[in-house]
Amino acid sequence: MEEEEIVAQEAGEDMVSFDEWKKKRLAEQAQLDRKEGGSKSPTNTPSQSKVKTSKNRINFASATCGAKILTSNNGAQNPAYLLTENKDQYMINSCKAKKWFIVELCEPVQVHSIELGNLELFSSLPQEFVASISDRYPSKEWKSLGVFHAREERSIQSFSVGENPIYAKYLKNPIYAKYLKVEMITHYGHEHFCTLSILRSEVI
């Protein structure tokens, strides 16, 4: 069955959990592999749960140092898993939802880079997102760090704040931000679910 046909068929069904959706897609993949003679290697090869962290950088969005998710969009499941550094745990959203979340960092810092990634099979990948910072919460004024573009791959990707034109203004009026807001704008793929595995906010 073609991908478009699968999506069209599923759109008329009641929403299932991501685990049920994943099991169904794994079964479909196994059936396809059998039809092709079993030449393909399994897509769910086990690997280590812990995610490697960047060298020479400190992650101030880690649960181990006290960072936490303050709030997120309605319908988001397990947003706190973004801060746990475990690839088997992830935030889940319907791809149709307006997806966002706010993180309270461990302490006020000048953000140099953001790392974001989705490692989960059978879910759509992040494409564009907006990152903003504030020195207080709640806040009516969020200072944008820019719009970031992710590659279409299942990996943890690093986005340097310095690569955005707004960074020059950011340096002239530096903010030691305690709060980070991330808004997901677009995604790759046509799966029902959009998952995120990891978020880091780092300084050198």
Looking up tokens 């393909």 gives 40
As a CATH number, domain 58-203 is 2.60.120.260
Q: For residue range 67-92, what is the model confidence (pLDDT) as tens digits?
A: 999 999 999 999 999 999 998 999 99
User: CA of 64: how far to CAs of 43, 60, 77, 84, in Å?
Assistant: 31, 9, 20, 8
Angle (CA) 120-122-127 rounded to 5° is 70
CA 148 – CA 150 distance, rounded (Å): 7
pLDDT in tens, 39-62: 444 443 333 444 455 566 799 999
Nearest to 69 by CA among 156, 175, 145, 181: 181
Is the Cβ–Cβ distance between 161 and 145 less than 8 Å?
yes
Indicate the pTM of the whole model: 0.76
The residues spanned by each domain of the chain are: 3-35, 58-203
Cα–Cα distance, 105 to 180 (Å, whole number)? 7
